[in-house]
A and B are shown apart, each in its own frame.
Chain A
Amino acid sequence: MEQLFNIDFKRINSSNDKEAADRKKNFELFLKRGLPNKKNENWKFSDLNYIISKNFKNIRNNDEYKLDEQIESIHDFDHNKVILVNGSLKSYDLNFEEKEKVKIETLKSLEDFHDQSKNNLDYLNKALSIGGFNLEVQQNYKCKKPIIIYNYFTANLNNKIINNSNKIKVSQNSELTLIEYNIGEKSKFVKNTFEKIYIDKGAVFKNIILQKKKFNGYFYKNISGIQDYNSSYQNFILSSGLKFNKIEIDMILEKEKSSCHILSGLNLSKEEHQEIKTQINHLAPNCKSYQKIKNVLESDSKGVYQGKIFVKDIAQKTDAYQLSKALILNDQAEFNAKPELEIYADDVKCSHGSSSGSIDEEAIHYLMTRGIEFREAKKLLIKGFLNEIFDNIPEEKIRTFLEKSIAVQIDEIR
Chain B
Amino acid sequence: MKKEELKNQEYKYGFTTDIENFKAPKGLSEETIRFISKIKNEPKWMLEWRLKAFNRLKVLKEPNWQKPKYPKINYQDLYYYSAPKSMKDKPKSLNEVDPKLIETYNKLGIPLNEQKRLSGVAVDAVFDSVSVATTFKGELDKKGIIFCPISEAIQKHPELVKKYLGSVIPLSDHYFATLNSAVFTDGSFVYIPPNTRCPMELSTYFRINASETGQFERTLIIADKGSYVSYLEGCTAPMRDENQLHAANVELVALDDAEIKYSTVQNWYPGDKDGVGGIYNFVTKRGACRGKNSKISWTQVETGSAITWKYPSCILQGDNSVGEFYSIAITNNHQKADTGTKMVHLGKNTKSKIISKGISAGQADNTYRGLVDIGAKAKNSRNYTQCDSLLMGNKCGAHTVPYIRNKNSSSTIEHEATTSKINEDQLFYCNQRGLNQEEAVSLIVNGFCKEVLQQLPMEFAVEAQKLVSISLEGSVG
Q: Interface of A with B (CB < 8 Å)?
A: 41, 313-314, 316, 326, 328-358
Contacts and interface: CB of A to CB of B under 8 A. Distances in A.
B398 interface: yes
Given A41-B65, A341-B389, A352-B415, 7 more contacts: A328-B406, A330-B409, A333-B409, A340-B400, A346-B393, A349-B420, A357-B412
Contacts of B65: 41
Nearest to B395: A313
Given A334-B406, A351-B418, A344 B413 contact: no
Contacts of A354: 402, 404, 413-415
Nearest to B420: A349
Contacts of B394: 313-314, 316, 344-347
A316 B421 CA distance: 11
A316 B394 CA distance: 9
Nearest to B67: A342
Nearest to B390: A346
Given A346-B393, A354-B413, A341 B419 contact: yes
Given A346-B392, A350-B418, A355-B414, A326 B398 contact: no
Contacts of A355: 412-415
Contacts of A316: 394
B398 A341 contact: yes
A341 B407 contact: no
Contact of A343 (B393, B398, B409, B416): B398
A313 B393 CA distance: 9
A338 B402 contact: yes
B411 interface: yes
B105 to A, nearest CB: 40
B409 A328 contact: yes
Contact of B420 (A326, A348, A352): A348
28 contacts: A313-B395, A314-B394, A328-B406, A334-B406, A336-B406, A337-B402, A337-B405, A338-B402, A338-B403, A339-B400, A339-B402, A339-B404, A340-B401, A341-B400, A343-B399, A343-B419, A344-B394, A345-B391, A347-B394, A348-B420, A348-B421, A351-B418, A352-B400, A353-B414, A353-B417, A357-B406, A357-B412, A358-B410
B362 to A, nearest CB: 12
B97 interface: no
Question: Which of B399, B404, B410 has most A Cβ within 10 Å?
Answer: B404
B232 interface: no
A339 B368 CA distance: 12
Contacts of A356: 404, 406, 412-413
B140 interface: no
Interface of B: 65, 376, 389, 391-421
B356 to A, nearest CB: 13
Nearest to A354: B415
B404 A350 contact: no
A203 to B, nearest CB: 29
Contacts of B409: 328-331, 333, 358
A333 B409 CA distance: 8
Nearest to A330: B409
A357 B399 CA distance: 26
A342 B418 contact: no
Nearest to B380: A358
A337 B392 contact: no
A338 B401 CA distance: 7
A369 B291 CA distance: 41
A285 to B, nearest CB: 11
A60 B399 CA distance: 43
Nearest to A348: B419
Residue in A314, A336, A346 whose Cβ sees the most chain B Cβ within 10 Å:
A346
Nearest to A45: B405
A348 B421 CA distance: 7
Contacts of A338: 401-404
A353 B416 contact: yes
A259 B295 CA distance: 45
Minimum-distance CB pairs A-B, first 8: A357-B412, A346-B391, A354-B415, A341-B400, A337-B404, A346-B421, A351-B418, A356-B406
A356 B414 CA distance: 7
A335 B406 contact: yes
Contacts of B395: 313, 344
B142 to A, nearest CB: 48
B398 A353 contact: no
Contacts of A358: 409-412
Contacts of B391: 343, 345-346, 348
Contact of B408 (A328, A340, A348, A349): A328
A85 B117 CA distance: 83
Given A354-B413, A355-B415, A356-B413, A331 B376 contact: yes
Nearest to A361: B410
Contacts of B406: 326, 328, 334-336, 356-357
A353 B415 contact: yes
A340 B417 CA distance: 10
Contacts of B407: 331, 333-334
Given A342-B399, A346-B391, A336 B404 contact: yes
A352 B401 CA distance: 11
Contacts of B400: 339-341, 352
A327 to B, nearest CB: 9
B422 to A, nearest CB: 9
A358 B404 CA distance: 15
A328 B374 CA distance: 13
A231 B230 CA distance: 56
A337 to B, nearest CB: 4
Contacts of B399: 340-343
Contacts of A330: 409
Contacts of B404: 335-339, 354, 356
Nearest to A359: B409
Nearest to A331: B409
A344 B65 CA distance: 20
Contacts of B411: 357-358
Nearest to B379: A331
Contacts of A347: 394, 421
Contacts of A342: 397, 399
A62 B393 CA distance: 55
A357 B379 CA distance: 11
A330 B410 CA distance: 9
Nearest to A316: B394
A350 B399 CA distance: 11
Contacts of A314: 394
A352 B414 CA distance: 11
Contacts of A352: 400, 415-417
A357 B417 CA distance: 18
Most buried by B among A330, A331, A343, A347: A343
Contact of A344 (B397, B403, B412): B397
B397 to A, nearest CB: 5
Contacts of A339: 400, 402, 404, 415, 417
- Residue from B399, B407, B408, B409 having most chain A Cβ neighbours under 10 A: B409
A309 to B, nearest CB: 9
Nearest to A333: B409
A354 B401 CA distance: 12
Nearest to A320: B419
